[in-house]
Amino acid sequence: MSKSPNQTEISTTSSSKSDDSSLTKEKHFSFKVVLKGQPKSFKIITAFLIIVIIFILVGQHINLPYYALKPGGVFPANKLVQIKGYTNKLHGGIDIVYVYESQENLIEYPIDKLSSKISIYPEQDIVGTPTGNLTNSQADAQDTWYSQNSQISAEVAALKALHYKLERNGQGSLIGWVDPTSPAGKFITAGDTILQINNTKIKNSAELASVIESYSAGTKVTVTFKTPTNKIITRQTVLAKLFTNTSKYGYLGVGTMPNYKIPLNFQFQDTIGGSPIGGPSAGLAYCLTIIDEISGGNLLRGINIAATGTISTNGQIGPIGGLVQKTYAVVASGAQIFFVPDGQSSTTYKSIYQIAGSKLKIYKVSNLSQVFHDLNLNLN
């Protein structure tokens, strides 16, 4: 998803001064001449309009604790993914879908609230973590990690679907992002590899998540990790509360990355029209595009589809945000098929089916096997 807050330069006052007192008098005199002889109603209306203009100009710079998701567009995924040695012409197209995300200001908020195409969320839902809110730069760093994680997961899932035998880069869980407000933020950095929690050795990212979830908030744990220079460090920390005060799980505050030896050379473009791509929702589209390019370009047999959803290294497809706004974008693009994650709310599905109408066929999928089934494919 692309984050592009509206920023408009304005000037409501002038700091320039003149030593020419006669010029100052002339300006005041001209102003009085304009208003002289005008009816009182004209003066009231003029004053009102001036106040409104000032309110609009100033209000654009007063941010509120809300974020808006607005319909974006679609973009061919094959233009974002390059695989060295593969230049197959694709017969059909796979589009990623993106939305616009921006912080609401005093002027935009009441207008956006009236639009059925725009969803507004509290700031905590967008840039919040269990232990605090992120600054804009910290939120951008999190989005970058989401995107990179999505790309590598797509590579691994696609290669596994094509029956590549992949090896891991050693034991442990590679860290790609650290919540700066969390317990881990005090001693772990991106690029470190967690090897052990208390007496439990960590083999991979899934095992790290499972071990952390076995401890409740407030539990003191010992974390052993390896730096990129292979230095082994041990630290103790207390797990924070996860999401709600009633949650039983503890929160360490790390984001992991797949850690495999990739036999091919992948390159991803991280911008669309100059705006950075953030978030994990392009994972499914990336994965399908990689499979299509490596397998000869005939995956879709000439049809064009749009796809959104996270992807795990095992091909599991996960829910995403902004699905309503993405559906508006896909309908506007003219695509006929839209793959979306299973597991979203019933309210969301009701909305997107209404938006799609008879123009767009929507498939709910939870793994790559379901996608292949819906496309009538067999990669065995």
Percent of the chain with pLDDT over 90: 71
What is the reported pLDDT for 92? Answer: 87
Query: Which one has a higher pLDDT value, 62 or 52?
Result: 62
CATH number, residue 171: 2.30.42.10
Measure the CA–CA gap between 304 and 7, rounded to whole angstroms. Answer: 36
Q: Which residues is 240 bridged to in the sheet?
A: 251
What is the reported pLDDT for 38? Answer: 67
Sign of CA dihedral 139, 141, 142, 144: positive
Q: Are residues 271 and 244 in the same domain?
A: no
Longest Cα–Cα distance of the chain, Å, equals: 89
pLDDT in tens, 74-116: 999 999 999 999 877 888 889 999 999 999 999 999 999 999 9
**Size of the chain in residues:** 380
Q: Are residues 156 and 274 in the same domain?
A: yes
What is the reported pLDDT for 301? Answer: 84
State the pLDDT confidence band at 246, using cuts at 50, 70 and 90: low
Q: Are residues 270 and 153 in the same domain?
A: yes
Sign of CA dihedral 205, 258, 161, 304: positive
- 51 occurs within a structural domain: no
Tell me the DSSP string of 64-128: EEEEEEEEEEEEEGGGTEEETTB-PPPSSEEEEEEEEEEEEETTHHHHHHT-TT-EEEEHHHHHE
Count the Cβ atoms, other than its own, within 10 Å of residue 73. Answer: 19
What is the reported pLDDT for 17? Answer: 40
What is the reported pLDDT for 376? Answer: 81
- Please list, in sequence order, all residues whose beta carbon lies within 8 angstroms of the beta carbon of residue 361, skipping any fewer than 6 positions away: 336, 337, 338
- 290-300: average pLDDT: 90
Q: Are residues 212 and 308 in the same domain?
A: no
- 300-304: average pLDDT: 87
Answer whether residue 252 shows pLDDT above 70: yes
Q: Are residues 273 and 365 in the same domain?
A: yes
Query: Which one has a higher pLDDT value, 182 or 243?
Result: 182
Q: Are residues 159 and 204 in the same domain?
A: no
What is the reported pLDDT for 25? Answer: 43
**Pick from 319, 326, 364: nearest CA to 344:** 319
State the pLDDT confidence band at 43, using cuts at 50, 70 and 90: confident
Which of 260, 275, 307 represents a domain boundary (last residue)? 260
Answer whether residue 198 shows pLDDT above 90: yes
Q: Are residues 227 and 318 in the same domain?
A: no
- 105 occurs within a structural domain: yes
- 310 occurs within a structural domain: yes
- 252 occurs within a structural domain: yes
Q: Are residues 272 and 370 in the same domain?
A: yes
CATH number, residue 333: 3.30.230
- 12-18: average pLDDT: 37
Q: Are residues 153 and 271 in the same domain?
A: yes
What is the reported pLDDT for 245? Answer: 59
Contact 142, 132 (CB under 8 A): no
Give residue 182's domain range: 167-260
Which of 242, 260, 278 represents a domain boundary (last residue)? 260
Three-state SS at 151? helix
What is the reported pLDDT for 362? Answer: 97
- Please list, in sequence order, all residues whose beta carbon lies within 8 angstroms of the beta carbon of residue 303, skipping any fewer than 6 positions away: 92, 336, 337
Query: Which one has a higher pLDDT value, 155 or 301?
Result: 155
What does the mean pLDDT of the chain come to? 88
Cα 120–Cα 327–Cα 276 angle in degrees, nearest 5: 70
Q: How many domains does the chain have?
A: 2
Q: Are residues 159 and 293 in the same domain?
A: yes
Assign 3-class secondary structure to 159-193: HHHCCCCCEECCCCEEEEEECCCCCHHHCCCCCCE
- Please list, in sequence order, all residues whose beta carbon lies within 8 angstroms of the beta carbon of residue 218, skipping any fewer than 6 positions away: 238, 239, 241, 250
Contact 73, 131 (CB under 8 A): no
- 233 occurs within a structural domain: yes
- 28 occurs within a structural domain: no
Q: Are residues 270 and 367 in the same domain?
A: yes
State the pLDDT confidence band at 29, using cuts at 50, 70 and 90: very low
Three-state SS at 278? coil
- 229 occurs within a structural domain: yes
Measure the CA–CA gap between 91 and 301, rounded to whole angstroms. Answer: 6
- 211-239: average pLDDT: 96
What is the reported pLDDT for 8? Answer: 27
State the pLDDT confidence band at 345, using cuts at 50, 70 and 90: very high
- 134-153: average pLDDT: 94
- 54 occurs within a structural domain: no
Which of 220, 238, 260 represents a domain boundary (last residue)? 260
Q: Are residues 272 and 368 in the same domain?
A: yes
What is the reported pLDDT for 275? Answer: 86
Answer whether residue 36 shows pLDDT above 90: no
- pTM of the predicted model, to two decimals? 0.83
